[in-house]
Chains A and B, each alone.
Chain A
Amino acid sequence: MTSSSSSAVLVALLLVPLVGAIVVAALRGNDRLAKLVALGISIVEFALAIVSWAAYDAGGARLQQAFSMDWIPSFGVHLSFGVDGIALVMIAVIALLVPLVIGSSWLEKLPEGRSAGGFLGLILVEQALTIGVFAATDVFVFYVLFEIMLIPMYFLIGSYGGANRQYAAVKFFLYSFLGGMIMLASVIALYVQAGNALGKGTFDWATLVTVVHHAPLSTQIWLFLGFFAAFAIKAPLVPLHTWLPDAAAEAPIGVAVLIVGVLDKVGTFGFLRYCLPMFPDASRKLAPLVLVLAAAGVLYGSLLATGQRDMKRFIAYVSIAHFGFIALGIFSFSSQAMTGSVSYMINHSISTGMLIIVIGMVIARGGSTRIADYGGMAKLTPLLAGLFLLAGLSSLSLPGTNSFISEFLVLIGSYPNAPVYTIIATVGMILAALYILWLYQRVFTGPVRGDALMQFDGPGATIAPETGARRAIRDLTGREIGVLVPLVVLVIGLGLYPKPVLDVVTPTVNATMTSVGVGDPVTVQEGH
């Protein structure tokens, strides 16, 4: 076992939520205590993530805070973990989201017979596994965690979700599992490749990167496609996206945040960590294909979002459009676009996470996910309306918000190599304004209306004389404000000062570009 002092932080990041999950699951009799303990653990985890960030040296080694121990010696499998700039920021964003998810799920009505302990325990397990996926530096460990990660999520959707939850959970599982199986084929073939080249098989990522790119193009293409299939389902890219609207619609709000904010990013992370550096020739060869899917995804997701009647399905299609931007930035091969994609990954978690959370607050008040059941809500809940709008503006990448930085970097960086796809995606900016502002208009402006706000609810409910709405519709509570404030600060803070993120991400992106064997289309000019 090799380790350094800072690797202890990474070990703790992996173990704290796992141990915490066991404790929380044991508290199934006492919901309140289970929630408090889970929140406490998630806050400790967040503090650890900050320590890990502080210990990371942006100009240092490719993989830092690394440690490794034998797992299956006969196959050369090691339990090895470490972080680069991309994994670091992704782990930080997971650690940020989980306490907010717990806070926003505080009053979640779980189905009959389910306890908060079980629900939050599963969330913490999922957190540990996704951090493991981002931190794994052994391809076999990555694969195993990639698959195991499905199991808690399968139960989070299938046991705690809405009316159609079982269908959604199975669909989610089948899609992801199928992708995983295809990837397994490539993982095994990688091992064989390494064996041929080195005389001894290995799953060590850093070693594989130096070996596989010597393989002929046709081999690279098949191996690439194996990984790509799994990641494109996860991300998801059109036309492999149809599991996401069902999963997002049926999952509880907090779980939807994790699916869209964290789980999906494993796919785009996979492109960056596995597809590009391990199969550089195939990546360059197949990039046009991915760019087509990316640009199509931007338009398709945006148009579908404008046509949705259900708020949670709406979010899913918005995310599909955003994943189009991320894929565009990754496969157009410039450091600006790729850095933009990585920052898009975290900014999307922040702004779409915030949008899902505020939509959850709307749903918690009206009891319906149908857009048509609401109207004129700004009059009843001005603060909720304002924060909904801010989340929406961040989702449509308004300059001054975090998402602008990433979308701008993706587009300006993609333009030199992929002008046509960039222009198509830029047109997506107009559609983004349309779907966000139209949703806001329908739910929040005009006279108070809609069944969710106007109908009687039980014997005690009375009607407010001035608006005609149920009295029970109140503006944000202290808990809800507490959940949203960190997100508001990040939306504006990272919009005006994104340098801390860019400085960490850019060196890793540069290293990735080097391993793909491509240079920036636009280089520093003389006279700077």
Chain B
Amino acid sequence: MMNLSEGAESVVAASGSLGGAWLVVLLPAIGALVLLAGGKRTNAWGHLLGCATVIAAFVYGVVMFFASTGLDAGQRVQNLHIYDWIPVNALQVDFGFRVDPLSLTFVLLITGVGSLIHIYSIGYMAEDRDRRRFFGYLNLFVASMLVLVLGNSFVTLYLGWEGVGLASYLLIGWYQDRPSAATAAKKAFLMNRVGDVGLALAIFILFQQLGTTQYTEVFAAVGDGRLSSGTLLAVTILLLLGACGKSGQFPLQAWLPDAMEGPTPVSALIHAATMVTAGVYLIARSNPIYSASPDGRLIVVIIGAITLLIGCVIGCAYDDIKKVLAYSTVSQIGYMILAVGLGPIGYGLGILHLLTHGFFKAGLFLGAGSVMHAMNDEVDMRKFGGLWKKMRITFATFTCGYLALIGFPLLSGYWSKDAIIEAAFSQGGWRGWVFGGAAMLGVALTAFYMTRLMFMTFFGEKRWEKLKSTDGREFHPHEAPAVMTIPMIILAVGSLGAGAYLAINHTLVDWLSPTLGELSEAHDSPFSTPVLTTISIALMVIGVGLAWLLVGRKPVPVEKPERVSFPVRAARRDLYGNALNEVLVARPGTWLTRFLVFLDNRGVDGAVNGIAAVFGGGSGRLRRLQTGFVRSYALTMLAGSILVLAALLMVRFS
């Protein structure tokens, strides 16, 4: 094997089973093609094909994983050239993959959680006439997401990046009858495109400065110090803009809660476990660039801290179970962004939290889907209550996810989140206090909103007994079929144990070190680790206790109380994020467009008709030119001849 670069990282040409990495993309891609182009003929077995391709991709992912662990650390970053995609002189964009610990980790997450959610969807979508097309879109998503994480250049990443955006658009708008679904889908795509502009401009700058967009060459050049600090800062900010769009981070967070219009398995897979974490992947993948720009990293950390608090605060006020979980996702990704913004001490921790979050949040969404399935698709928690007795498996698995999310000691979230908080504090000075403090505050708020959700859904009075759903049916909650509960159970096991497995002895961080570098130990923290853990647990207990005081011990009114304090009102309105978009972008845009349409019809066209009038004798006579054709032809000829004469004169005299 030969070394392709002499830079900080060593990259070798892919071989062995890693050289077959294209297979994991091709399988779901073929699934999508067959299901979408095959039409109704594939209805009978479409969902099975959809599951089979993703499971097969997972199996090959596991094969690649073990092949890679068998290699020396220096051989684990492999480059797979497939064909020349966009070759024009100096610009040579490969269609190719980078198979390394980071991308393999994502391959396992995407195909593993993806397989479980595909299986779950067989049951969840059983009643849908178009289930086959649904699986086609899910396969399209998995294929695109794999291109995103496996691509070996920023352009192949961009290909997957917009591919998952398309799948997300199609699946958010799945229930086409609902105008709100169509609007949410369009909003998601548009806000993502705002971020994409950032990603695109970052790619343009890299090409301008370095003449390449391939990771290997870009990272080597950055390692050689070929980018000025100003350029580095610009690139980090633009990449962050892309990450904010895809990952629902401030100020582009408003689309993610609306995306809950999609079917719940979609929310679990795309809008919780995988696609929305692509922003974290992007920053972790670009770690040589971020490591070289402390200012860029500071901005990342600030965005992460703001977002994690926004998500928590709004999550406390919503009654829609999926929207609470959505804002929880916004907030948890805020933690991950904060982590990767910390630089070498945080890249691995961000990915660790991304993985544990993938387990417990996917599990929570599937649990919410199971509740909705049992409750005639109702999402308003004020109509739930006392469900734990009716659906014990759902309750048990949901509780595992809940405890993991709030950071209950020794469960998944505890390992990953506390590590991030500790790393944030270790920044030292005001940064340590501000970012560590924000992450700490988030612990209490997370415990509050999730405990509130648990109380309103599973405990207390069975409020649904006296109610009917909007389509007039009575509620008869029941446990979901095994095809749905088994994926939930598997994810619950992950929620319990994955954190400990990955975090103890730094298993994950060591595995990722060929890509992300060695973990530098936290230092300069005002607290020792045991003290920090104690504070964190205390805050969690306070959050749970507050939820009990304010929600758990009182009856929950079925109607939403309208006379509430200002913070609750603000939180219910998404802290005015949408209102701000409306005032700053949507309305001025509409006015400008109307003005321009008016101008184009009257102004520009009028002016040109006026010029025509000079030649033709009035725009009103334009129509009559049909009859007076020859005369106007002559007139135009005359005008032309004058110009010819002018040109000739000009040539002589110049």
How many A-B residue pairs lie within 8 Å, measured between CB atoms? Answer: 213
User: A479 interface residue, CB < 8 Å from B?
Assistant: no
User: Which residues between 492 and 530 of chain B lie within 8 Å of chain A, taking CB atoms?
Assistant: none
With A219-B650, A304-B597, A405-B86 known as contacts, the answer to whether A447 contacts B177 (CB < 8 A) is: yes
B648 adjacent to A502 (CB under 8 Å): no
User: Which residues between 549 and 602 of chain B lie within 8 Å of chain A, taking CB atoms?
Assistant: 589, 592-594, 596-597, 600
B162 adjacent to A308 (CB under 8 Å): no
Determine, out of B196-204, B356-364, B388-396, B398-406, the stretch whose residues face the partner at the interface.
B196-204
User: B474 interface residue, CB < 8 Å from A?
Assistant: no
B162 adjacent to A336 (CB under 8 Å): no
- When distances are taken between beta carbons in the complex, the residues of chain A under 8 Å from B616 are 174
B176 adjacent to A502 (CB under 8 Å): no
A411 adjacent to B90 (CB under 8 Å): no
Please, how many angstroms separate the alpha-carbon atoms of A308 and B181 in the complex? 23
Determine, out of A59-67, A126-134, A362-370, A432-440, the stretch whose residues face the partner at the interface.
A432-440
B90 adjacent to A522 (CB under 8 Å): yes
User: B211 interface residue, CB < 8 Å from A?
Assistant: yes
User: B372 interface residue, CB < 8 Å from A?
Assistant: no
Closest to B181 in A: A445
User: A34 interface residue, CB < 8 Å from B?
Assistant: no
- When distances are taken between beta carbons in the complex, the residues of chain B under 8 Å from A398 are 162-163, 166
How many chain B residues touch the partner (CB < 8 A)? 78
- When distances are taken between beta carbons in the complex, the residues of chain B under 8 Å from A386 are 36
User: B647 interface residue, CB < 8 Å from A?
Assistant: yes
A174 adjacent to B166 (CB under 8 Å): no
- When distances are taken between beta carbons in the complex, the residues of chain B under 8 Å from A503 are 87
A379 adjacent to B200 (CB under 8 Å): no
Binary CB contact string for chain A from 59 to 96 against chain B (1 if under 8 A, 0 otherwise) = 00000000000000000000000000000000000000
Quote the shortest CB–CB distance from B227 to chain A (angstroms).
13
A239 adjacent to B640 (CB under 8 Å): no
Please, how many angstroms separate the alpha-carbon atoms of A441 and B650 in the complex? 55
Please, how many angstroms separate the alpha-carbon atoms of A489 and B641 in the complex? 49
Quote the shortest CB–CB distance from A116 to chain B (angstroms).
24
Determine, out of A17-25, A102-110, A187-195, the stretch whose residues face the partner at the interface.
A187-195
Please, how many angstroms separate the alpha-carbon atoms of A174 and B36 in the complex? 47
B176 adjacent to A433 (CB under 8 Å): no
A181 adjacent to B210 (CB under 8 Å): no
Closest to B157 in A: A399
With A174-B612, A181-B640, A415-B208 known as contacts, the answer to whether A434 contacts B86 (CB < 8 A) is: no
B166 adjacent to A522 (CB under 8 Å): no
With A430-B190, A522-B207 known as contacts, the answer to whether A303 contacts B89 (CB < 8 A) is: no
B636 adjacent to A177 (CB under 8 Å): yes
A524 adjacent to B647 (CB under 8 Å): no
Determine, out of A200-208, A275-283, A419-427, the stretch whose residues face the partner at the interface.
A419-427
Please, how many angstroms separate the alpha-carbon atoms of A413 and B93 in the complex? 13
User: B45 interface residue, CB < 8 Å from A?
Assistant: no
B90 adjacent to A524 (CB under 8 Å): yes
B646 adjacent to A185 (CB under 8 Å): yes
A170 adjacent to B622 (CB under 8 Å): yes
- When distances are taken between beta carbons in the complex, the residues of chain B under 8 Å from A528 are 92, 212
Please, how many angstroms separate the alpha-carbon atoms of A501 and B169 in the complex? 30
- When distances are taken between beta carbons in the complex, the residues of chain A under 8 Å from B644 are 184-185, 188
B203 adjacent to A412 (CB under 8 Å): yes
Quote the shortest CB–CB distance from B504 to chain A (angstroms).
40
User: A408 interface residue, CB < 8 Å from B?
Assistant: yes
A502 adjacent to B636 (CB under 8 Å): no
User: Which residues between 394 and 413 of chain A lie within 8 Å of chain B, taking CB atoms?
Assistant: 398-400, 405, 408-409, 411-413
- When distances are taken between beta carbons in the complex, the residues of chain A under 8 Å from B36 are 386
Closest to A528 in B: B92
B88 adjacent to A379 (CB under 8 Å): no
Binary CB contact string for chain B from 625 to 654 against chain A (1 if under 8 A, 0 otherwise) = 110000000001101100110111011001
From B88, B163, B166, B179, A445 is in contact (CB under 8 Å) with B179
B162 adjacent to A409 (CB under 8 Å): no
User: A42 interface residue, CB < 8 Å from B?
Assistant: no
A522 adjacent to B182 (CB under 8 Å): no
B211 adjacent to A523 (CB under 8 Å): yes
Please, how many angstroms separate the alpha-carbon atoms of A329 and B204 in the complex? 14
B647 adjacent to A523 (CB under 8 Å): no
B654 adjacent to A303 (CB under 8 Å): no
B177 adjacent to A304 (CB under 8 Å): no
B163 adjacent to A242 (CB under 8 Å): no
- When distances are taken between beta carbons in the complex, the residues of chain B under 8 Å from A5 are none
Please, how many angstroms separate the alpha-carbon atoms of A367 and B211 in the complex? 52
User: A324 interface residue, CB < 8 Å from B?
Assistant: no
Please, how many angstroms separate the alpha-carbon atoms of A502 and B86 in the complex? 8
A525 adjacent to B212 (CB under 8 Å): yes
From A185, A306, A335, B647 is in contact (CB under 8 Å) with A185
Please, how many angstroms separate the alpha-carbon atoms of A499 and B93 in the complex? 11
User: A493 interface residue, CB < 8 Å from B?
Assistant: no
User: A506 interface residue, CB < 8 Å from B?
Assistant: yes
User: A274 interface residue, CB < 8 Å from B?
Assistant: no
Closest to A308 in B: B597
- When distances are taken between beta carbons in the complex, the residues of chain B under 8 Å from A415 are 201, 204-205, 207-208
Please, how many angstroms separate the alpha-carbon atoms of A523 and B208 in the complex? 9
User: B478 interface residue, CB < 8 Å from A?
Assistant: no
User: Which residues between 71 and 114 of chain B lie within 8 Å of chain A, taking CB atoms?
Assistant: 83-92, 95
Quote the shortest CB–CB distance from A415 to chain B (angstroms).
4
- When distances are taken between beta carbons in the complex, the residues of chain A under 8 Å from B597 are 304, 307-308
Quote the shortest CB–CB distance from A305 to chain B (angstroms).
9
Please, how many angstroms separate the alpha-carbon atoms of A398 and B193 in the complex? 10
User: A166 interface residue, CB < 8 Å from B?
Assistant: yes
B155 adjacent to A408 (CB under 8 Å): yes
Please, how many angstroms separate the alpha-carbon atoms of A503 and B84 in the complex? 11
With A307-B594, A336-B89, A525-B210 known as contacts, the answer to whether A400 contacts B186 (CB < 8 A) is: no
B593 adjacent to A304 (CB under 8 Å): yes
From B197, B596, B640, A182 is in contact (CB under 8 Å) with B640
B593 adjacent to A185 (CB under 8 Å): no
- When distances are taken between beta carbons in the complex, the residues of chain B under 8 Å from A499 are 83-85, 87
- When distances are taken between beta carbons in the complex, the residues of chain B under 8 Å from A240 are 608
A400 adjacent to B162 (CB under 8 Å): yes
- When distances are taken between beta carbons in the complex, the residues of chain B under 8 Å from A423 are 201
- When distances are taken between beta carbons in the complex, the residues of chain A under 8 Å from B91 are 336, 409, 412-413, 522
User: B623 interface residue, CB < 8 Å from A?
Assistant: yes
User: B159 interface residue, CB < 8 Å from A?
Assistant: yes
Quote the shortest CB–CB distance from B557 to chain A (angstroms).
33
User: B604 interface residue, CB < 8 Å from A?
Assistant: yes
Please, how many angstroms separate the alpha-carbon atoms of A49 and B654 in the complex? 44
Please, how many angstroms separate the alpha-carbon atoms of A329 and B162 in the complex? 23
User: B465 interface residue, CB < 8 Å from A?
Assistant: no
Closest to B213 in A: A412
B190 adjacent to A434 (CB under 8 Å): yes
User: A226 interface residue, CB < 8 Å from B?
Assistant: yes
B193 adjacent to A433 (CB under 8 Å): yes
A336 adjacent to B179 (CB under 8 Å): no
Quote the shortest CB–CB distance from A183 to chain B (angstroms).
10
User: Which residues between 307 and 336 of chain A lie within 8 Å of chain B, taking CB atoms?
Assistant: 307-308, 335-336
User: A222 interface residue, CB < 8 Å from B?
Assistant: yes
User: B183 interface residue, CB < 8 Å from A?
Assistant: yes
B179 adjacent to A446 (CB under 8 Å): yes
User: Which residues between 196 and 242 of chain A lie within 8 Å of chain B, taking CB atoms?
Assistant: 216, 218-219, 222-223, 226, 239-240, 242
- Inter-chain pairs besides A182-B640, A408-B200, A520-B89, 17 sampled, C-beta below 8 Å: A174-B612, A188-B644, A240-B608, A307-B594, A307-B596, A307-B597, A336-B88, A336-B90, A393-B166, A412-B204, A415-B208, A437-B189, A445-B179, A446-B177, A496-B85, A499-B83, A523-B89
7 residue pairs of the A-B complex, CB under 8 angstroms, read: A170-B625, A178-B639, A185-B647, A393-B166, A426-B200, A444-B176, A498-B86
Nearest 6 Cβ contacts at the A-B interface: A181-B640, A445-B182, A415-B204, A185-B647, A307-B597, A307-B593
